């Protein structure tokens, strides 16, 4: 999510997220995640609280059971809040500012932050704003301390940073060329390239996406001989294997196979859509298969815990704390899009090399440009 730079903001961890603040200019930006969250109740409670405090509601919108947005002012402090439903929880931000303390148009910052959350939750494109680095003297409404410095004539043009492609992994889920992956792997793509082996790439078409559950369905002009079979009845402690194409242009292009087990039957905040797994994964594993000992797909690799953030928050470095979306969630997504998929059952355990071969047959690399 987007956070403004250039304003001197202090960062603070809170029980529900992160807070960025500058008390001198009366600006507070808070990002929050609540594991249990009623969108309508929270909306009604916020409106009631603001009216009770004498604030004027400038704008309010409750959109079905997806999100709400509220803009308000008490004459001195302005504010904007936006929250989205995600599973049983809610995620969003609130921004408060003293409009008489600075020359910045903070309502435009609110619009940008709101747009970044909308993009994150819906998969809609979001264009990063130009980076502007105002100084403290330019922000505060203080008397001028002398003539402002004049720009030098004919400044050298700055070279634009290249937009590097993102990479990830996908799973052939049908023999008609349907590929299952994470929604974040193909977010904001102008072109999706799917690797079919030995340097052969084909253009992928985005068929459907579910940003709330981080799933996407692609279609490629290919007829794979093997498609993954989904299995849902997974037990705590089961051995699992992850396959993918992590760290493109760094690690082997032939794929990466790691082993571990199911360490928890829920994700962060007891999110029941996810498994926690100990199989090591890296950036680029996203969207790849998590397999059981029979080669069935029991999950779709999704994310790993940020150890730098945890080191800052709890003073410890987590090891192999990774997450995968459960096959049951993927099955519901496929059913909603009328995709017939295969189901797998426990059988005689396969040897590791055989599972790796099967994983490679069903997996593809994905490049998002």
Residue numbers annotated as active site: 184, 214, 286
Q: Are 166 and 249 in contact (CB under 8 A)?
A: no
Distance, in Å, from the CA atom of 267 to the CA atom of 311, rounded to the nearest integer, reads 19
3-state secondary structure string, the chain?
Answer: CCCCCCCCCEEEEECCEEEEEECCCCEEEEEEEECCCCHHHHHHHHHHHHHHCCCEEEEEEEECCCEEEEEEECCCEEEEEEEEEECCEEEEEEEEEECCCECCCHHHHHHHHHHHHHHHHHCCCCCCCCCCCCCHHHHECCCCCCCCCCCCCCCCCCCCCCCCCEEEEEEECCCCCEEEECHHHHCCCCCEEEECCCCCEEEEEEEEEEHHHCEEEEEECCCCCCCCEECCCCCCCCEEEEEECCCCCCCCCCCEEEEEEEEECCCHHHCCCEEEECCCCCCCCCCCEEECCCCCEEEEEEEECCHHHHHHHHCCCCCCCEEEEEHHHHHHHHHHCCCCCEECCCCCCCCHHHHHHHHHHHEEEEEEC
DSSP H helices in 301-351: 307-314, 327-336
């Amino acid at each position: 999510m987007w956070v403004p730079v250039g304003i001197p903001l202090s960062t603070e961890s809170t029980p529900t997220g992160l807070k960025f603040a500058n008390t001198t200019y009366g600006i507070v930006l808070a990002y929050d995640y609540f594991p249990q969250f009623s969108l309508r109740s929270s909306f009604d409670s916020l409106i009631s609280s603001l009216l009770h405090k004498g604030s004027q509601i400038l704008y309010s919108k409750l959109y079905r059971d997806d999100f709400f947005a509220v803009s308000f002012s008490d004459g001195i402090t302005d504010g904007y809040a936006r929250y989205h439903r995600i599973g049983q929880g809610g995620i969003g931000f609130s921004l408060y500012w003293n409009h008489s303390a600075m020359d910045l148009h903070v309502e435009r910052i609110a619009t940008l932050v709101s747009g970044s959350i909308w993009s994150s939750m819906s998969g809609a494109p979001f264009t990063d704003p130009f980076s502007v680095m105002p100084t403290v003297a330019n922000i505060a409404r203080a008397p001028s301390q002398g003539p402002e410095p004049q720009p030098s004539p004919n400044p050298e043009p700055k070279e634009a940073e290249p937009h590097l492609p993102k990479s990830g992994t996908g799973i052939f889920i049908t023999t008609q060329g349907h590929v299952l992956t994470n929604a974040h792997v193909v977010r904001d793509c102008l072109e999706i390239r799917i690797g079919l082996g030995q340097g052969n790439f084909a253009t992928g078409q985005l068929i459907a996406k579910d940003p709330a559950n981080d799933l996407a369905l692609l279609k490629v002009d290919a007829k794979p001989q093997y498609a993954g079979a989904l299995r849902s009845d997974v037990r705590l402690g089961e051995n699992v294997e992850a396959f993918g194409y992590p760290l493109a242009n760094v690690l082997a292009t032939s794929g990466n196979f790691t082993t571990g087990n199911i360490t928890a039957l829920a994700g962060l905040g007891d999110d029941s859509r996810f498994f926690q797994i100990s199989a090591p994964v890296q950036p680029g594993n996203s969207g790849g298969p998590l397999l059981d000992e029979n080669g069935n797909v029991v999950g779709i690799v999704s994310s790993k815990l940020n150890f730098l953030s945890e080191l800052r928050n709890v003073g410890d470095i987590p090891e192999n704390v990774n997450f995968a979306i459960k096959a049951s969630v993927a099955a519901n997504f496929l059913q909603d899009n009328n995709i017939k998929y295969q189901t797998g059952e426990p059988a005689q355990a396969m040897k590791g090399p055989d599972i790796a071969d099967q994983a490679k047959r069903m997996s593809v690399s994905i490049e998002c440009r």
